[in-house]
Copies of this chain bind each other. A is one copy, B any other.
Amino acid sequence: MSYTIKDVAKKANVSIATVSRILNGQGGYSEKTKFKVLRVIEELGYQPNAVARGLINKRTHTIGVLFPKLSSSLVTDLLDGIEKAANDNGSSVIVCHTESNGEKTMKYLQLLIEKRVDGIIFASEILKEEYYRFVTKTSMPMILLSTESYAYPVPFVKVNDFHAAYAAAKHLIDKGHTRIGMISGNKDDIIAGIPRIEGFQKALSDCNIHLDSKNIVFSRGFTFSDGVEGLKSLVRQFPDVTAIFAASDEMAIGALSAAYQMGIRVPDEISVIGYDNLNLAEMSIPPLTTVGQPLAKMGEAAAEMLFSILETGETPESRIMPHKIIERMSVKERK
């Protein structure tokens, strides 16, 4: 049983326009009328219909977020930041799990356009031409989060993967390590894969540390099990490795697990540094040293950029967020 603005107007003996003006602080009513109307609203328990409002205002105060298959904690931290900023700006967040599937992604994009969301955040996935064309045709604002597009002028928020990986490798070098390996993600991933590899390589090369194919193992993704397999492969191909940069925290944790199974002591025999600063990094044994992405802050920034577009109609500048070395206990100084 829900009341409309017509019920309120009737019971208060005013027009629906007056009720609307009062609700929206629009001016053009007396204090006496306002008092009368507000009392009726409370009496009836009237709840304005945001759907009807959205139709008139062409603004739903709802944004859509597309997540691919990702580490749990990554999703949660990004979403925390997004949801916070959205809520602060009076908007809601629709979450879409694309499962890294192109067809599903297109379906979600279509759905979000039909629902007339105010904008979308596209997270941690390559922006394909088909997606870009589809979204652009509708003029719906879009922000890329933890990814970027080399092909299309879409504003993004991310860390500089090259620099962050460089910093991680440099950290190991500064701790005295010279035999440094890397458990990489997918080497075909131009966003998270290649720049982290290149940053690692550059750090070693800048410090005149010998580098060849035995230093890096490649995985299909960035998962725990990729880390388990990665550590095993690395110690096989680089038996005297003393320190490892893993291209995600989950892979670093996988490396810790594999080391434990193999009786390798971390950090006594091999030091490990991860990438992300997920909350599970501090829960590991030993607590993981990592190069941190400010995930919640990034989510927040992406949403704020979206609202900025909606306010000003202008495309905001992309933002490179600072990475940070978080020292815990998985890296040991080497004499």
Task: Mark A residues whose CB is within 8 Å of B.
Answer: 1-2, 45, 47-52, 54-55, 60, 62, 72-73, 75-77, 79-80, 83-84, 87, 92-97, 110-111, 113-116, 137-139, 224, 250, 253-254, 256-257, 260, 279-280, 282-287
Contact = CB atoms under 8 A, between A and B. Distances in A.
Contacts of A283: 224, 250, 253-254, 257, 280, 284
A222 B253 CA distance: 22
A167 B2 CA distance: 47
Contacts of A95: 79, 83, 93-95
Contacts of A280: 280, 283
7 shortest A-B CB distances, which residue pairs?
Answer: A72-B76, A50-B114, A72-B73, A50-B115, A285-B285, A92-B94, A260-B285
B2 A138 contact: yes
Contacts of A113: 47
Contacts of A110: 47
A49 B285 contact: no
B97 A94 contact: no
Contacts of A97: 80, 83-84, 87
Given A97-B84, A280-B280, A285-B284, A114 B76 contact: no
Contacts of A48: 114
Contact of A49 (B116, B137, B139, B257): B116
B96 A83 contact: yes
Which of A93, A114, A115, A256: most chain B CB closer than 10 A? Answer: A115
B73 A138 contact: no
A139 B1 CA distance: 7
Given A47-B138, A257-B285, A285-B285, 14 more contacts: A1-B139, A2-B138, A45-B137, A51-B55, A51-B115, A51-B116, A72-B77, A73-B76, A87-B97, A93-B94, A254-B283, A256-B285, A260-B286, A280-B280
A279 B47 CA distance: 41
A95 B228 CA distance: 33
A77 B60 CA distance: 28
Contacts of A49: 55, 114, 116
Nearest to A70: B76
A94 B62 contact: yes
